[in-house]
């Protein structure tokens, strides 16, 4: 018998000072049995830090090879943003850049292998891909405290993230990086 997904209900008070986005998010996130808590924390942060009208977790979840972790669509269903999480292949980012006007990657993985492939020209529009890097320890600290029903506050200001959950404040950097200099 295969294990099913675990459903998380997260209420996030989002204050993204850098983008001027202040929202109360009520999310239900399915954690696939093969998904790590760190990956789930990264998906949650990618969603919150990319929040705009039309954003959604992909229907296929992390098991879909056709869709990213998070998408933004206009009211007619047109793909506006492909938001990738973790360590995608160069081929996947190439496909994303051909499929969507905007591509973003949220990761804690080293970028050197992707940057090398971008310099070799194997990633379409590599210089236009937004890359956001988290500190691995910060993601692990969030992942350790995730509960199936959780309310948290997320503040993003001056490249710093502050996450308050269960009365404890965790802070870490999120830095903009480049796959290829424009």
Q: Rounded mean pLDDT of 25-42?
A: 93
The verdict on residue 182 lying in a domain is: no
Q: Is the pTM of this model over 0.85?
A: yes
Q: Which pLDDT score, from 0 to 100, does residue 106 have?
A: 97
Is pLDDT of 1 > 60?
no
Judged by average pLDDT, the poorest of 31-35, 44-48, 63-67 is: 63-67
pLDDT tens across 162-182, in order?
999 989 999 999 999 988 876
Q: What is the CATH number of the domain that holds 58?
A: 3.10.640.10
Nearest to 146 by CA among 47, 39, 37, 57: 37
The verdict on residue 1 lying in a domain is: no
pLDDT tens across 89-133, in order?
999 999 999 999 999 999 999 999 889 888 888 899 999 999 999
The verdict on residue 23 lying in a domain is: yes
- Res. 157 pLDDT band, cuts 50 70 90: very high
Evaluate whether 127 touches 182 at the Cβ level (below 8 Å): yes
The verdict on residue 30 lying in a domain is: yes
Percent of the chain with pLDDT over 90: 78
Q: State which residues form the domain around 97.
A: 6-177
Task: Give the chain's count of helices (H) and strands (E).
Answer: 4, 10
Over its C-alpha atoms, the chain yields an Rg (Å, rounded) of 16
What is the DSSP annotation of 69-128? SEEEE-TT--EEEEEEES---HHHHHHHHHH-SEEEEEE-S--HHHHHHHHTT-STTGGG
The verdict on residue 89 lying in a domain is: yes
The verdict on residue 153 lying in a domain is: yes
Mean of the per-residue pLDDT values for the chain? 92
The verdict on residue 34 lying in a domain is: yes
Question: Considering its fold, how many domains does the chain have in total?
Answer: 1
């Amino acid at each position: 018998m295969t294990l099913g997904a675990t459903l998380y209900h997260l209420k996030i008070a989002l204050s993204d000072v850098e983008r001027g986005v202040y929202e109360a998010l009520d999310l239900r996130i399915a954690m696939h049995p093969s998904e790590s808590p760190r990956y789930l924390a990264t998906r949650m942060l990618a969603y919150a830090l990319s929040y705009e009208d039309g954003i959604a977790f992909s229907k296929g979840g992390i098991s879909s090879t056709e869709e990213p972790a998070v998408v933004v669509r206009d009211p007619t269903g047109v793909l506006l943003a492909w938001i990738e999480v973790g360590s995608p292949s160069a081929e996947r980012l190439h496909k994303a850049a051909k499929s969507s006007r905007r591509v973003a990657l949220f990761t804690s993985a080293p970028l050197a292998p992707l940057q090398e492939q971008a310099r070799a020209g194997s990633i379409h529009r590599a210089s236009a891909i937004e890359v956001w890097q988290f500190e691995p320890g910060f993601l692990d600290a969030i992942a350790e405290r995730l509960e199936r029903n959780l309310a948290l506050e997320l503040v993003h200001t001056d490249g710093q993230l502050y996450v308050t959950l269960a009365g404890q404040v965790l802070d870490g950097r999120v830095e903009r990086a480049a796959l290829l200099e424009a």
